Homo-oligomer: A and B are copies of this chain.
């Protein structure tokens, strides 16, 4: 950030009065441009005993498999965003069952949220950000070709919880580099 989005003047990185951390502050109009973490929301779509995964057509991790997810948009709830992303990336219609996993990724200032969802029919196909969309039994999941740790951990939790039939919300932090 180099210029003020309100008045177009130059920006200085400094601690505003009454604050305790550096912000992008306009030298001219004084506007403070806060930067905050973004929320990524998605679904774990389930059809009978299979889960739906999308093969990524785009960076990062192009070619690897992921759960449908993307940035939450202004004006929508996190479950609405999860349903929208599932439709966009897999052309798949789902009914949301409930929030399932929430991960903090402080090194990239993101929060990931995945909702358990029931796939409503088998009429799905790749959206523009996917090259393939498939249903996988547990033993078919391409564990070595999953795109993100949040996907791996959500699927691991799901298959473990499925044995009990109880799906509490799981919260975790993912640090990079990993902390032992």
Contact = CB atoms under 8 A, between A and B. Distances in A.
Nearest to A76: B106
Interface of A is mostly: loop
A3 B37 CA distance: 22
B106 A77 contact: yes
Interface residues of A, number: 42
Given A18-B128, A35-B74, A102 B99 contact: yes
Contact of A5 (B2, B37, B38, B111): B2
Interface in A63-110: 71-80, 98-99, 102, 104, 106-107, 109
A127 to B, nearest CB: 11
18 contacts: A2-B6, A2-B7, A3-B5, A4-B5, A21-B73, A34-B71, A35-B74, A37-B72, A37-B73, A37-B74, A39-B111, A77-B106, A78-B104, A99-B102, A99-B169, A99-B171, A102-B102, A168-B168
